[in-house]
């Protein structure tokens, strides 16, 4: 791409982001002023150009803090768990991947659907801040891997939408709404076929190599639980890893105990992982957590037929329901 074209793309994206941000603020103001919701989770501009972190607002005049651009990467749905015992109605902005988190939380009986106002936003694909080379200047960043592999660029459910995005549960639907052209131009979803590439590469390793690979990863884990705490599927009220009283696990951050944590978590979200990729994004130690989740997704697809978690609210997760024709290879 020439410099001119790149500048044009940036200008167009900037213009679009401004429009979306305006729509966001207007809708938030309306929802808060009318009393329809008590609070709202959105994104705001952070201290540098490549940061657009979460924000929670409760007053109409705070709506002007909202902002949307290609750095609004956080899936906000896990933050709703703080309201699971509340009767307050809360609004939340969701991109396509995030919207599956809402389905997850409702299916897991963590949230009452009627207590959440879901606002779908079109997604331009999120920039990888890890690729920032000059933190002083705006620059076009490559997309996050999870956006290149995206299969649900549009919200799978929404009560309201902005930016003319359409709601669809169709996998691999083209990005819709105001950012559609930008998303397509940037390659959102272009590598969806490569979703299992890392799993395949790991499976090709010899057992010893694979063991060494995961041991190196498990050795790195510091048990900070960022992966668990940001995950909309990891929503147990009491997690066994919060207490060593059960004697199944202890606090020692050894490769064995860390592996026990990682594998337990992966198995626990098996069939329920919504592939938002947040666990891997937030891991301070760069552990390829999604490789493990994807391995299980692949296995489930093979055993129970194609299934995408958190897409259809009325569809039971394969491991959360029993069918007479379920495979019983272990019997």
Binding site for another protein (CB under 8 A): 41, 46-48, 51, 53-56, 74, 78-79, 82, 132, 135-136, 216-217, 219-220, 222-226, 228-230, 242-244, 247, 250-254, 278, 281-282, 284-286
Tell which residue, 57, 119, 123, has the closest CA to residue 94.
119
- Residue placing its CB nearer to another protein in the complex, 57 or 183: 57
User: Least separation, in Å, of the C-beta of 180 and another protein?
Assistant: 28
CB atoms inside a 10 Å sphere around CB 38: 16
User: Least separation, in Å, of the C-beta of 245 and another protein?
Assistant: 9
- Residue placing its CB nearer to another protein in the complex, 135 or 316: 135
- Residue placing its CB nearer to another protein in the complex, 55 or 165: 55
134 CB contacts (<8 Å, ≥6 apart)?
none
- Residue placing its CB nearer to another protein in the complex, 7 or 243: 243
Largest CA distance in the chain: 64
- Residue placing its CB nearer to another protein in the complex, 136 or 204: 136
Structure tokens given for 104: 């997850």
User: Least separation, in Å, of the C-beta of 41 and another protein?
Assistant: 8
Q: What are phi and psi of 303, to 5 degrees?
A: -80, -40
Tell which residue, 149, 122, 118, 70, has the closest CA to residue 308.
149
Which residue is associated with the tokens 């979200």?
A: 269
- Residue placing its CB nearer to another protein in the complex, 136 or 323: 136
CB atoms inside a 10 Å sphere around CB 242: 11
Q: How would you label 223-240 residue by residue, b for 16+ Cβ within 10 Å and e otherwise?
A: eebbbbebbbbbbeeebe
Q: How far apart are CA 69 and CA 192, in angstroms?
A: 23
- Residue placing its CB nearer to another protein in the complex, 28 or 311: 28
User: Least separation, in Å, of the C-beta of 35 and another protein?
Assistant: 19
User: Least separation, in Å, of the C-beta of 45 and another protein?
Assistant: 11
Which residue is associated with the tokens 């997704």?
A: 297
User: Least separation, in Å, of the C-beta of 33 and another protein?
Assistant: 20
Output the CA torsion sign for 262, 263, 268, 270. positive
Phi-psi region of 192 (alpha: psi -120 to 50; beta: other; left: phi over 0): alpha
Beta-carbon-side half-sphere exposure of residue 136 (alpha carbons within 13 Å): 0
- Residue placing its CB nearer to another protein in the complex, 157 or 269: 269
User: Least separation, in Å, of the C-beta of 30 and another protein?
Assistant: 21
User: Least separation, in Å, of the C-beta of 68 and another protein?
Assistant: 15
Q: How far apart are CA 187 and CA 287, in angstroms?
A: 25
Q: What are phi and psi of 18, to 5 degrees?
A: -60, -45
């Amino acid at each position: 791409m020439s410099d001119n074209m790149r500048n044009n793309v940036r200008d167009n994206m900037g213009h679009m982001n401004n429009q979306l941000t305006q729509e966001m603020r207007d809708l938030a103001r309306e929802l808060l002023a009318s009393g329809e919701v008590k609070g709202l989770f959105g994104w705001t501009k952070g201290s540098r150009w490549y940061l657009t972190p979460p924000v929670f607002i409760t007053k109409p005049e705070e709506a002007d803090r909202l902002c949307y651009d290609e750095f609004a990467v956080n899936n906000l749905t896990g933050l709703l768990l703080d309201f699971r015992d509340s009767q307050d109605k809360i609004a939340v902005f969701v991109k396509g991947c995030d919207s599956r988190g809402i389905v997850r939380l409702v299916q897991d009986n963590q949230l009452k659907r009627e207590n959440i106002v879901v606002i779908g936003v079109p997604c331009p694909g999120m920039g990888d801040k890890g690729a920032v080379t000059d933190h002083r200047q705006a620059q076009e960043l490559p997309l996050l891997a999870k956006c290149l592999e995206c299969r649900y660029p549009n919200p799978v459910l929404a009560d309201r939408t902005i930016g003319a995005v359409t709601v669809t549960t169709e996998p691999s639907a083209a990005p819709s709404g105001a950012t559609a052209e930008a998303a397509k131009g940037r390659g959102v979803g272009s590598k969806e076929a490569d979703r299992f590439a890392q799993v395949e590469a790991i499976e090709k390793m010899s057992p010893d190599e694979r063991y060494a690979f995961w041991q190196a990863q498990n050795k790195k884990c510091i048990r900070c639980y960022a992966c668990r705490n940001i995950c909309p599927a990891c929503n147990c009220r009491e997690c066994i890893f919060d207490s060593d009283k059960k004697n199944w696990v202890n606090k020692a951050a050894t490769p064995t105990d860390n592996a026990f944590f990682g594998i337990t978590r992966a198995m626990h979200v098996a069939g329920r992982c919504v592939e938002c990729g947040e666990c891997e994004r937030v891991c301070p130690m760069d552990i390829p957590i999604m490789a493990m989740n994807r391995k299980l997704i692949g296995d489930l697809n093979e055993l129970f037929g194609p299934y995408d978690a958190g897409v259809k609210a009325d569809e039971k997760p394969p491991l959360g329901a029993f069918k007479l024709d379920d495979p019983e290879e272990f019997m």
